[in-house]
Amino acid sequence: MTQDAAKAAARKAAFARRKLAHEGAGANAAGYLSEVLAGYRGVPLAGYMAMRTEIDPTPAMAEAAAHGPVGVPVIQGAGQPLQFREWTPDCAMIDGEFGARIPAEGGWIVPEILIVPLVAFSRAGGRLGYGGGFYDRTLEQLRAARATMAIGFAYAEQEDADIPLEPTDQPLDLIVTERGVITPG
């Protein structure tokens, strides 16, 4: 099986697990994420606007926004790293690329912490994304300039010990689920 075929098969299985987890999710799925971010008050961070069956980080992002800048990703184009527009809980939002919600206006920030959506993760810090490479390119660029923490945020059921990885895949520094915090190691 080729690397692309292995990733496609892993994504298909992971999407099915994530859908089931999402259907059974409780109201406080971001509780552990809030606890982690409380230790980094004021540090510029970026989250994301949940789509479809992604776990929703916005409650934790709203708490963090009371203490420092929070951004959300804006796709600049295929093959480009993400840029991050400042977000507040009450800002006007519009549809961006792929239907992702983005702030209608606002300044740009350079985050030092990224809350990263994913399709599957491994306890070793591997991340299977959607296949566009946006977060891998972005993390590579940010980490070349300064220490940047990548926090994978997912349902516990998205764990997969056998994620097919490539040399360009950027590792997660921390994984947070609705059930707890995992430190890769």
DSSP 67-104: TS-EEEEE--STT---EEEE--TTS-EEE-GGG-EEES
Q: What is the dihedral sign for C-alpha 171, 176, 179, 185? A: positive
Q: Could you give the C-alpha distances from 94 to 49, 102, 158, 164, in angstroms and in order?
A: 11, 6, 29, 34
Pairing of strands 70-74, 180-182: unpaired
- Would you state the pLDDT for residue 90? 95
Per-residue pLDDT of the chain (185 residues; tens, 9 = 90+): 787 888 888 889 889 899 989 888 777 899 999 999 999 999 999 999 999 899 999 999 999 999 999 999 999 988 899 999 999 999 999 999 888 899 999 999 999 999 999 999 999 999 999 888 999 999 999 999 999 999 999 999 999 998 988 888 999 999 999 999 999 97
The backbone torsions φ and ψ at residue 35, rounded to the nearest 5 degrees and listed phi first, read: -60, -45
Rounded Cα distance, 7 and 127, in Å:
11
DSSP classification of residue 158:
G
Rounded Cα distance, 69 and 109, in Å:
8
- Would you state the pLDDT for residue 110? 98
- Would you state the pLDDT for residue 98? 81
Contact 82, 134 (CB under 8 A): yes
For domain 3-182, give the fold. Answer: Rossmann fold (3.40.50)
Tokens 């004021």, residue located = 42
Q: Domain map of the chain by residue range?
A: 3-182
Encoding tokens for residue 15? 């999407």
The model's pTM is: 0.93
- Would you state the pLDDT for residue 55? 96
- Would you state the pLDDT for residue 97? 85
- Would you state the pLDDT for residue 126? 96
Contact 160, 124 (CB under 8 A): no
- Would you state the pLDDT for residue 160? 94
- Would you state the pLDDT for residue 182? 98
